[in-house]
Amino acid sequence: MSLLPSAPDVAEAAIAAVDWCGRPVDCGHCDAGGAAGLRCERGRACVHDRYARRIDRYFNWNPQTADRWLTHPYFEVRAIAVRHASVFRLPEMMADPDETVRLSVAMRLPQRQLRKLMNDPHREVRIRVAGRLDPDALTKMCDDDDYYVRLQVARRLPVALLARMAADPDPQVRRTVALRLDPAALGRMAQDGEVGVRRIVAARALPPLQQALAADPAWEVRREVALHAGRALAAALSADPEPEVVAAAEQRLAALDAGIGAEAGGHD
């Protein structure tokens, strides 16, 4: 077995052991290491190093010290200390001036406290909140200014509450809504201005809505209808002027003849 350090360790060893102000780490005047009965290693695990991996390793080795470092001037120290700190210290960190720290806070806050970060000024924090917040509390984030926050909400919001996002300004959000919304509620999205949204609607639509979408101006939507239609509608679409729709309709009819797929309702 080779005794040489792994490639990542070699790369890390090449990074100078300096503090957040760029000064060499001084182990001789440190109260956060062996002299205090704590485990550390210069260039590998050090709370005074500015390299995040070394700070992280220090707290992994000495998690009980985390509360002490929550007011450190270097944001990386505070952000990593938060991961190990007492849950009772987390509320005070919600107002930290650095979003990296608040991101770490958002990963650990209890639900009642987490709601207080729903309006955080930084999108990354709100994205993380939307990924953790109880689904029933997500309605207050449906109108967030950032599309990706709303996308997270659309992925997690209870289906019964999802219809309110059917007219979201972002097509990616609406596509997610169309994928999750109850098929009986898809009618409100049949006139969506985005072909990709209407394709999803067509693939999940119930027969009455399928019939309406069979006349959609976009052949991609009509093709999707043909692939999921019942026999009568598939036969009608086999006369569509677009060859791709005709091919899809014939494929569907062949599948129905072979007993593959559902005749009633038009769904596989």
**Which DSSP symbol is given to 3?**
-
Position 35 scores a pLDDT of: 75
**What is the model's pTM?**
0.86
Residue 253's beta-bridge partner residues? Answer: none
Rounded to whole angstroms, how far apart are CA atoms 45 and 32?
Answer: 11
Position 229 scores a pLDDT of: 96
Residue type, 64: Q
Q: List the chain domain ranges.
A: 7-109, 111-161, 208-268
3-class DSSP assignment, residue 45: strand
Residue type, 52: A
Q: What are 45's two structure tokens? A: 């695990």
Rounded to whole angstroms, how far apart are CA atoms 106 and 93?
Answer: 10
Residue 18's beta-bridge partner residues? Answer: 24
Position 261 scores a pLDDT of: 67
The CATH number that domain 7-109 falls under is: 1.25.10.10
Q: What are 263's two structure tokens? A: 């005749």
One digit per residue, pLDDT tens: the chain, 268 residues?
A: 344 444 557 788 889 999 999 999 999 888 898 777 899 999 999 999 999 999 999 999 999 999 999 999 999 999 999 999 999 999 999 999 999 999 999 999 999 999 999 999 999 999 999 999 999 999 999 999 999 999 999 999 999 999 999 999 999 999 999 999 999 999 999 999 999 999 999 999 999 999 999 999 999 999 999 999 999 999 999 999 999 999 999 999 999 999 876 654 445 4
Rounded to whole angstroms, how far apart are CA atoms 26 and 48?
Answer: 9
